[in-house]
Structures are given as structure tokens and as C-alpha cells.
């Protein structure tokens, strides 16, 4: 039930599948802020920060897009920026802020 908070590490971007389906974890609340957003996971009791409004757009549109890559493209993220966003998404996945959509 209660997950222990572990130190947040920079997750390897290469392990994040941009072509899979993702969504925000159901226990995560999102609060938009000037710099991007604050995320709070009620299960792990951890706070995360999205440091750009574009990343917020990506994260909140994940569930509606077939893939994370599509969410990035639709948020206006170009090829040059994609690796940085993949890195950010990998970290969010590692801390359970976002999770994979399987069936359904």
C-alpha cells in the first residue's frame, strides 16, 4: 500500500519507450504554475516539478495520445528538443508520476 519514498534519480532516457502509450498516474494531482507545474503523488507522497509549460502539455495529453512521441509532437516539441523531453518523461515514469497504458 504505502510506497516508501526513495530518492529520485535521473532515469536513463533510453529506457523510456516514446512509442508506447502512457498516462498520468491516477493518484497524481497536477497544479499548473507559472514555470510549468507541480505534481504530487498521493501514493508515494512525493512532489515533482515540471519545469516547462510544454512539458505540462505533454504530460496532460499523454492519455489522449496514442504514444508519448505523438504527445510531444502535438505539444510543438521539435526533434532537437525531444531527447530532453524523453529524459524528463523517463524520470516521471521512474517515480510513478506517469504510467503505461496497457489494455484499455
Partner 1 sequence: MTVTAAPLVEEFRYGLDAPICLTWELTYACNLSCVHCLSSSGRRDPAELSTAECKRVIDELERMQVFYVNIGGGEPTVRPDFWELVDYATAHHVGVKFSTNGLRITPGVARKLAASDYIDVQISLDGATAEVNDALRGPGSFGLALRAMRNLADAGFAGFKISVVMTRHNIGQLDAFKTIADQFGAQLRITRLRPSGRGADVWDELHPSAGQQRELYDWLVAHGENVLTGDSFFHLAGYGGGLPGLNMCGAGRVVCLIDPVGDVYACPFAIHDAFLAGNVRGGGGFAEVWRSSELFTGLRQPQSGGACTSCSAFDACQGGCMAAKFFTGLPLDGPDPECVRGFGEQALAAVDAAGAPRPSGDHSHRRAPASGARAVGQRREPVPVSIGPRPADGDEAIVAGQSSGIMPDRACDQNPLAGFRLPATAG
Report if residue 17 touches partner 1, rule: CB under 8 A: no
Closest distance of CB 65 from partner 1, Å: 18
Give the number of other Cβ atoms within 10 Å of residue 89's Cβ. 26
Closest distance of CB 21 from partner 1, Å: 20
Q: For partner 1, which residue of 17, 20, 21, 36 counts as binding (CB under 8 A)? A: 36
Q: For partner 1, which residue of 12, 14, 15, 51 counts as binding (CB under 8 A)? A: 51
Report if residue 43 touches partner 1, rule: CB under 8 A: yes
Q: Helix H segments across the chain?
A: 53-61, 68-74, 82-94
Report if residue 14 touches partner 1, rule: CB under 8 A: no
Q: Is the dihedral angle over the CA atoms 90, 51, 56, 74 positive or is it negative?
A: negative
Residue 26 is classified by DSSP as: T
Q: Which of 8, 27, 47, 81 has its CA nearest to residue 57?
A: 81
Q: Maximum Cα–Cα distance for the chain, whole Å?
A: 40
**Which residues contact partner 1 (rule: CB under 8 A)?**
1-11, 27, 29, 31, 33-36, 38-40, 42-43, 45-52, 54-55, 80-81, 84-85, 87-88, 90-92, 94-95, 97
Amino acid at each position: 500500500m504505502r510506497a516508501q519514498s526513495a530518492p529520485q534519480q535521473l532515469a536513463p532516457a533510453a529506457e523510456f519507450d516514446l512509442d508506447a502509450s502512457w498516462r498520468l498516474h491516477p493518484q497524481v494531482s497536477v497544479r499548473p504554475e507559472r514555470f510549468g507545474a507541480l505534481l504530487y503523488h498521493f501514493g508515494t507522497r512525493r512532489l515533482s516539478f515540471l519545469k516547462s509549460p510544454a512539458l505540462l502539455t505533454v504530460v496532460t495529453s499523454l492519455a489522449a495520445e496514442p504514444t508519448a512521441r505523438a504527445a510531444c509532437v502535438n505539444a510543438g516539441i521539435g526533434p532537437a528538443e525531444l531527447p530532453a523531453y524523453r529524459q524528463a518523461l523517463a524520470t516521471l515514469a521512474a517515480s510513478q508520476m506517469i504510467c503505461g497504458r496497457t489494455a484499455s
